[in-house]
Chains A and B, each alone.
Chain A
């Protein structure tokens, strides 16, 4: 449908191949795993013998909360059927499915952004304001890094799922 195109730049051809799509999904899983294990690494390090912070600072539930929210947001965003978002399709606009999808998607994005903001909040309030130095500070930095990686992973997953739609559309014709 070239006349319905919105953007000036068209998608490159290689992005519609099935190989690029599955590579995208694999790398989304790898990125999410990296995020999760950065956070686990911070928690394990905080309770190991290497953590020598003088007033002892440990990872507790507060540090995990942003990651939980980010992961929840990612789950919501990527569970939504993307084709229901456009109200152009006649059969789905009747019951307000597109509207519902947009509300749920907004909740998902809000949760994802809230997780990112929460990570920065934990970094500032728990680590920077009390004036901790580097090896202790790395726990807060890894919190922000983990949330950023969850965001990146959900972007990659979103893009590769949209690729899939184009791909199956071409196949169906």
Chain B
């Protein structure tokens, strides 16, 4: 249990640093578009969860249920790369500066890493 507690504390620290970086990248330059990165990374695991619920894991012979899972994975991959591509796009058109783009990409990766690590450490094993 102490190991779980340590994990929770360190994960929340990383999450806070990620949010700090993203908000700083917006507030330093008075341009609040990089906040979209947070929304992207929070939405990114969502298709996986929804499609994992939709699919029936019992019949692996029928491939139509696997197609739903694959679609969820495809959407997740799309959203994860969108989190990196969006600040780079904004910086390329000089809507935000490259420093802000770098900060928001780093922050976004930290936030997404926290979400993924949380899911990995505390996966419910209630399959029966």
Q: Could you list which residues of chain A lie within 8 angstroms of chain B, going by C-beta atoms?
A: 22, 25-30, 32-34, 36-37, 40-41, 44-45, 48-50, 81, 83, 157, 161, 164-165, 168, 171-172
A37 with B86: CB separation less than 8 A = yes
With A81-B63, A171-B60, A172-B61 known to touch, is A41 a contact of B89 (CB < 8 Å)? yes
Q: How many contacts between A and B, using CB within 8 angstroms?
A: 77
Closest 8 CB pairs of A and B: A29-B77, A37-B85, A48-B93, A33-B81, A29-B74, A26-B77, A33-B78, A30-B81
Residues of A within 8 A of B63 (CB): 81, 83, 164-165, 168
**Complex alpha-carbon distance, A22 and B95, angstroms:** 36
B66 with A34: CB separation less than 8 A = no
Question: Residue B95 contacts which of A30, A32, A48, A81 (CB distance < 8 angstroms)?
Answer: A48
Min distance, Cβ B64 to any Cβ of chain A, angstroms: 8
* Interface positions of B from 34 to 66, Cβ below 8 Å from A: 60-61, 63, 66
Question: Residue B85 contacts which of A27, A29, A33, A161 (CB distance < 8 angstroms)?
Answer: A33
Residues of B within 8 A of A30 (CB): 77-78, 80-81
Residue of A whose beta carbon sits closest to that of B64: A81
B89 with A37: CB separation less than 8 A = yes
Complex interface bits, B94-111 against A, C-beta within 8 A gives 1, otherwise 0: 110000000000000000
Min distance, Cβ B1 to any Cβ of chain A, angstroms: 30
Q: Name, among B63, B79, B93, the residue most crowded by chain A CB atoms within 10 Å (CB to CB).
A: B93
**Complex alpha-carbon distance, A66 and B77, angstroms:** 23
Residues of B within 8 A of A83 (CB): 63
A26 with B73: CB separation less than 8 A = yes
A27 with B82: CB separation less than 8 A = no
